[in-house]
Amino acid sequence: MNFMHKSLFRLCILLFCMMVRFSVFAQDSLGSERTQMAEGMRSNGKIYVVVTVLVIILTGLFIYLGRLDKKISRLEKKDNLS
């Protein structure tokens, strides 16, 4: 793996760790009391739609970044050869 791939991999790991960390801090401090919006979305099953859309968007973003990194690496190699 070249430097760009390692950097992209490290960035992905960092973002994942930050999301896990923030989700821990986002826990409800009131215990049994929950917000009405979240409760309503859970009861209607819409929360799964929201999570699915977010996962699709993030997956598309990571795929786009990976392809862009490959194209940039290819252009850098081409530039170094000429």
Residue 74: inside a domain: yes
Residue 70: inside a domain: yes
Residue 63: inside a domain: yes
Give the domain range for residue 43.
39-82
- Residues 6 or more apart whose Cβ sits within 8 Å of residue 66: 8
Residue 23: inside a domain: no
Would you say 76 and 8 are in contact if contact means Cβ atoms under 8 Å apart? no
Residue 26: inside a domain: no
Residue 25: inside a domain: no
Would you say 1 and 70 are in contact if contact means Cβ atoms under 8 Å apart? no
CA–CA gap between residue 50 and residue 41 (Å, rounded)? 9
Number of structural domains found in the chain: 1
Residue 19: inside a domain: no
**pLDDT tens digits, one per residue of 3-40:** 677 788 888 888 887 777 766 555 555 555 556 766 77
pLDDT at 68: 93
